[in-house]
Amino acid sequence: MTATILIIDDDLELRKLVQSYLTEEGFRAVAAANGREALFVAREEHPELIILDLMMPEMSGYEFLHVYGKESNTPIIVLTAKVEENDTVLGLELGADDYVTKPFSLRELTARIRAVLRRSQSVRSGKEILKAGEITLDLRGRTTQVGDSRVDLTRTEFALLAAMMRSPGRTFSRLELLSQVQDTGYEGYERTVDVHIRRLRMKIEPDPQNPQYIETVFGFGYRFSEPDLGESRRV
């Protein structure tokens, strides 16, 4: 089945260029000029992935992430002409799965798209239920529960948690975690792992400032803690 990609950017030439290239690569590509138009298109087309420019008139990419993120867990790759880390971090904190800085190569963008889609499809096809302490991950249903409450995770957050819960006690470097969830080894994007981990802790930890599940291994990375949590198991 051909994946539908929604391209949201106020630059007409860029939209046409990306749309044409992705069509040649075998995707079904649709487009919108701003966040307001994109909400209508996304609700009608139900895309498998969204490419989103952050700086747009009428409704910015940040506003779109805030609104549409409450309606769908569709993976999103943000485009930004700014190189400041704060802009990228804000996009990730609002639920984006990855980012590409303008100018970019169409080949790299397509590689990112395929990596995010592979991750999404892998999670959907999983047949495991992972349990540890109060946390339950249903990989087939892509749901997360902490105690009696369901918790909504982005696809990247879910993939990170699943990777660590599969190997409790193992210390993962940031690059290893990035490879687990993105199928790529771009070292320049290692710092994005910290953003996702911070968001993940806010959602699953009783006290995010003193995490009992996701431990920081200073100078290296992170590990999922086993003590007093019971065994992680696969069903």
Coil/strand/helix, residue 108: helix
Distances (CA, A) of 65 to 7, 78, 93, 232: 14, 10, 10, 33
Residue ranges per structural domain of the chain: 4-122, 126-224
CA gap 85, 89 in Å, rounded? 6
CA gap 93, 65 in Å, rounded? 10
Q: Which regions in the chain score pLDDT beneath 70?
A: 1, 82-91, 93, 119-127, 180-191, 226-235
State which amino acid sits at residue 80: T
**Residue 128: what pLDDT?**
72
Distances (CA, A) of 176 to 180, 182, 222: 6, 10, 10
**Residue 229: what pLDDT?**
38
**Residue 74: what pLDDT?**
87
Structural element, H or E, at residue 182:
helix 174-182
pTM for the predicted model, two decimal places:
0.61
- For domain 4-122, the question of CATH label 3.40.50.2300 is answered with yes
**Residue 45: what pLDDT?**
93
Measure the CA angle with vertex 180, ends 235 and 145; round to 5°.
45
- Cβ-defined contacts of 65-71 (< 8 Å, 24+): 65/91, 65/94, 65/95, 65/96, 66/94, 67/35, 67/39, 68/38, 68/39, 68/42, 69/94, 69/95, 69/154, 71/43
User: What is 126-224's CATH number?
Assistant: 1.10.10.10
CA gap 156, 95 in Å, rounded? 9
Measure the CA angle with vertex 182, ends 181 and 183; round to 5°.
105
CA gap 62, 99 in Å, rounded? 13
Cβ atoms within 10 Å, residue 86: 8
**Residue 184: what pLDDT?**
44
**Residue 178: what pLDDT?**
78
